[in-house]
Structure 1
Amino acid sequence: MPRLRPGLLVLTIVAASLAGCAAFVEDRAATREDAAEAAYPPTGRLIEVDGHRVHAHVEGAGPDLVLIHGASGNTRDFTFDLVGRLSDDYRVIAFDRPGLGWTDNIGAQNDNPIAQAELLRKAADQLGVTRPIVLGHSYGGAVAMAWALRDPQDTAAVVLLAGATHPWPDEADLGPFYPFITSAVGRSAAVPLISAFVPESRIEDAIAGIFAPNPVPKGYMEYVGAGLTLRQDSFLANARQVNNLKPYLARMAPLYSELTLPIEIVHGARDTTVGIQYHSRKMDDQLPNAHLTILPGIGHMPHHAAPDAVLAAIDRAAQRAGRR
């Protein structure tokens, strides 16, 4: 049996140790992912669209109202409270966006809000949705606007809650986190470690930061299923969607002026996640059919912190569109 040279022996030991660490990390991440999926199963239906699974939570009766969640989210952000407030007056259809919650990743176009809208529109067709009011929160605002651009005749109205709708200036870029996570090093090293080891306290801090300056509603942390987003594939899909959004918005924003349907916009004055001046104010200035409601003292989650204002905006959109 040939003998290993000392240098080669050291490298072999290091490689074996790293392989063992990687296996441990993957096993730990897989265990946490299995636990999250068991704890937070789909609350609605799983529909097959073009070979992809789409999760749709359908509840209530009345005009069709589609809800599209933001980054790092899933339908549970809406079913925690908002859907129950709406289901007496609307048939509410809340979708998981591609790669998040229980909706499949759609591959090369997964970070494209237009492709996401197309997939969800096809799912809506299977549910018999007609002339919906389409509501998008945060990143979901981009998907809601893409939905309207792709099908303006059969979209009754759009409601934007702190919607990301326009390209932002370079000085307001998102920082190094998302570019790093989507890099080769981030994908192979950071994502598995985050999925395997991020503590509950860090998740709680992140959610509190999204809600700030408003409190996180009691029971939200336990209900929303943040562990679904921490699955490796979902975490990476979310990072890619956020990191690659700006160029899509740069192409979409000039087309908004073609839309004549009612657009209701609700944005918290203290939102530090989606800047009101870069998105909602621009939409309000650009379109005469847009109506902006600014909520003093409210952050990035107006549907939790100021639900009555959100319901009023939805009702206005329905009335303006002749759906109520």
Structure 2
Amino acid sequence: MKVLLILVGIVAVFWGVTLWKAARHEARAQADYPPLGQFVTVGGARLHLLQVGQGPDIVLIHGASGNMRDFTMDLVGRLSDRYRVTVVDRPGLGHSDRLDRDGATIFEQADVLVAAVAQLGVERPLVLGHSYGGAVALAWATRHPEATAGLILLAAASNPWEGPLSTYYRVLSHPLGQALAVPILTAWVPDHVVTDTIASVFAPQPTPEGYDQYIGAGLTLQRRALRENALQRAGVLAEVRQMVPDYAALDLPVEILHGDADTTVWASIHSEPLARQIAAANLVVMAGVGHSPHFAEPETVVAAIDRAAARAGLN
């Protein structure tokens, strides 16, 4: 009995220290990487948005695990001289609240983002999505065609794929993982573990200089973000499968860009079929480019945005 009490005491102390360290880690991340923009509230959830520039509207939607800094580091500056650019932290990530505890679907995210940008006067923008954010952009267009001038999809998850959910996401999306594993990761995993994995996202290109310091790895390790990202990732395959039949009805300019060296979201599984599924789609396969076209060849991405704007009659 005495041994059991000692073990219980050790576990209690460890858990108390874990929760304290998790809160401390989150506070440091919030202080080191404060909000870049402003907040709007939709359905009780505070969402973080940044709006800069003048001209036709474009909304930028980031991928899994990340935040708006993936775009503000470089791409926003290339566009804000002639577009009004609105960048978002997707629900639960960056500085945005979760919508609920079940994980926001791509359709729920599209709905709330349409409402959020409308509060900033954005009614019918071009919508650019990268990776998981491309699935949200497609959900935006299929559910709200009246609020979409055109799409620019970068390495977008757009069609069903084979293979099980990774062990990491299976654990973190399970109720026990949400309750136990997530706080342990937030408390005890140093930021450099996140930044060390960034290289695989950019490969075969090198990680852009300063990216790992700029992106805010601590924001990714917030308990809220880890929980929400895992649930979103666990649900996206079924959601994409549900959305595919709606592609044929899309009647708007669509520019699709995908690197042929992308081993995170494969062009042959996603963008190449998508280009056949949408009549107005224009596919650009980028030779030797990995999963981040907007860093590997930003001029190509900007040219695609300009084409979409011209096709939509915005400039």
TM over 0.5: yes
Identify the range of structure 1 (303-312 vs 9-18) with the bigger mean alpha-carbon deviation. 9-18
What letter matches 1:248 in structure 2? Answer: E
Counterparts of 1:131-142 in structure 2 under 5 Å?
Answer: 131-142=124-135
Q: Which region of structure 1 is more displaced relative to structure 2, 149-158 or 198-207?
A: 198-207
CA distance in 2, matches of 1:300, 1:150: 26
Aligned to 2:153: 160
Alpha-carbon distance in structure 2 between the residues aligned to 1:268 and 1:63: 27
Instruction: Give the secondary structure class of the aligned counterpart of 1:261.
Output: coil
Structure 1 residue 317: deviation in Å? 0.6
Question: Does the residue aligned with 1:119 lie in a helix, a strand or coil?
Answer: helix
* 1:98–1:110 CA contact under 8 A, matched in 2: no
Question: Does 2:277 align with 1:289?
Answer: no
Going from structure 1 to structure 2, the CA distance change for 1:129 and 1:92 (only over 3 Å counts) comes to: same
Q: Percent identity?
A: 48
Amino acid at match of 2:272: R
Q: State the 1:220 CA deviation.
A: 1.1
Match of 1:225 among 212, 216, 225: 216
Q: Is the 8 A contact 2:135 2:240 kept in 1?
A: yes
Contact map agreement 1:97 1:103 (CA 8 A) in 2: yes
1:201-220 matches, cutoff 5 A: 201-220=192-211
Letter in structure 1 aligned against 2:301: V
- Which stretch shows the higher mean deviation, 272-281 or 179-188? 179-188
- Aligned residue identity for 2:142: L
- State yes or no: 1:110 paired with 2:96: no
Name 1:5's counterpart in structure 2: none
TM-score normalised per structure 2: 0.97
Q: In structure 2, what is the Cα distance between the partners aligned to 1:260 and 1:182? A: 36
Q: Which residue of 2 aligns with 1:195?
A: 186
CA–CA distance in structure 1, aligned partners of residues 113 and 23 of structure 2? 28
Question: Retained in 1: the 8 A contact 2:114–2:147?
Answer: no
How large is the RMSD of aligned CA atoms in angstroms?
A: 1.2
- Residues 1:305 and 2:296 aligned together: yes
Q: 1:66 aligns with which of 55, 59, 64?
A: 59
Shift of 1:108: 4.8
For the residues of structure 2 that align with 1:228 and 1:17, how far apart are their CA atoms? 29
The alpha-carbon deviation at position 174 of structure 1 amounts to 3.7
Out of 23, 26, 32, which is 1:30 matched to?
A: 23
The alpha carbon displacement at 1:189 in A equals 2.9
CA distance in 1, matches of 2:160, 2:119: 33
Give the C-alpha shift of residue 191 in structure 1. Answer: 1.5
Name the stretch that deviates more: 190-199 or 258-267: 190-199
Partner of 1:88, secondary structure, is: coil
For the residues of structure 2 that align with 1:106 and 1:184, how far apart are their CA atoms? 17
Q: 1:110 to 1:187 in 2, by over 3 A?
A: closer
- CA shift digits 1:115-138 (9 cap, x unpaired): 101111001111111320000001
Inter-partner Cα distance in structure 1 for 2:97 and 2:202: 27
1:94 counterpart residue number:
87
2:195–2:217 CA contact under 8 A, matched in 1: no
Whole-angstrom distance in 2 between the partners of 1:108 and 1:236: 9
Instruction: Note the residue ranges of structure 2 that are not aligned, 5 or more in a row.
Output: none
**Which residue is equivalent to 2:314?**
323
Cross-structure match for 1:252: 243
- Return the letter of the residue paired with 1:196: A
Q: Deviations over 1:1-42 (max 9, x none)?
A: xxxxxxx22211111110100111111111111000001111
DSSP-derived class of the 2:25 partner:
helix
* TM-score, normalised by the number of residues in structure 1: 0.94
Aligned length: 315
Moved over 4 A (4+): none
Aligned counterpart in structure 2 of residue 78 of structure 1, from 58, 67, 71: 71
AA matched with 1:21: F
CA distance in 2, matches of 1:79, 1:284: 28
- TM-superposed deviation, 1:66: 0.3
- In 1, Cα distance between the equivalents of 2:56 and 2:179? 46
Whichever residue aligns with residue 17 of structure 1, its letter is I
Structure 1, unaligned stretches of length 5 or more?
1-7
Q: Cα distance, 1:109 vs. partner?
A: 5.8
SS in 2 for 1:107: coil
SS at match of 1:244: helix
Distance in 2 separating the partners of 1:126 and 1:111: 20
Change over 3 Å in CA distance of 1:295–1:174 after alignment to 2: farther
